[in-house]
Amino acid sequence: MKRRPLIIATVIAVGFLIIFARLAELMLFDHEKLLRLATIQHTKGQKILVRRGGIYDRRGRELAVSLDRFTLYGDPSMIDSPEYVARKLSKVIKTKTSILRNKLKEKKKRYVSLARRVSPEQAVAALRLKLKGIGVEPDSERFYPKGFLASHVLGFIDIDNRGREGVEKRYDSSLAADGGKVYLARDARGNILYRGDKYESVGNSIVLTIDEGLQYIVESELESAVKKWKSQSATAIMMDPHTGEILALANRPTFDPNSPGAYRAANRRNRAITDLYEPGSTFKIVMAAAALEEKMATLNTRFDCSEGEIEVGGKKIRDTHKHGVLTLKEIIQKSSNVGAVKMTLKLGPERFYKYAKVFGFGNRTGIDLTGEVSGVVKPPQRWSGTTIGAMAIGYEVLVSPLQVLRAYSVIANGGYLVKPYVVAKTLGPDGRVLQQEDRSERVRVISGETVKRLREAFVTVTEEGGTAPRASVYGNTVAGKTGTSRMIDPRTGRYSRRDFVSSFVGFVPADDPLFALIVVIWKPRGEYYGGQVAAPVFRAIAEKALTYRFIPMEDRGDNNILVMGQPVRGGRESQDF
Catalytic residue positions, numbered: 281
Phi/psi at 360 (5° precision): 90, 5
Element (H, E) at 413: helix 401-413
CB 272 within 8 A of CB 235: yes
**CB 572: neighbour CB atoms within 10 A?**
16
Q: Among 242, 265, 262, 273, which residue's Cα sits nearest to residue 369?
A: 273
CB 19 within 8 A of CB 26: no
CB 246 within 8 A of CB 420: yes
Per-residue buried b or exposed e for 448-467, using 16+ beta carbons within 10 Å of the residue's own CB: eebbebbbebbbbbbeeebb
How far apart, in whole angstroms, are the C-alpha atoms of residue 462 and residue 477? 9
How far apart, in whole angstroms, are the C-alpha atoms of residue 546 and residue 568? 10
- Name 480's Cβ contacts closer than 8 Å, sequence gap at least 6: 408, 458, 461, 462, 468, 471, 504, 505, 506, 507, 538
How far apart, in whole angstroms, are the C-alpha atoms of residue 571 and residue 224? 21
Per-residue buried b or exposed e for 105-140, using 16+ beta carbons within 10 Å of the residue's own CB: eeeeebebebbebbeeebbeebeeeebebbbbbebb
For residue 521, count CB atoms less than 10 angstroms from its CB and return exposed for 0-12, middle for 13-18, buried for 19 or more.
buried
How far apart, in whole angstroms, are the C-alpha atoms of residue 158 and residue 261? 9
How far apart, in whole angstroms, are the C-alpha atoms of residue 68 and residue 248? 30
| Residue 217, SS3 per DSSP | helix
Tell me 280's DSSP state: G
- Name 251's Cβ contacts closer than 8 Å, sequence gap at least 6: 152, 233, 234, 235, 269, 270, 271, 272
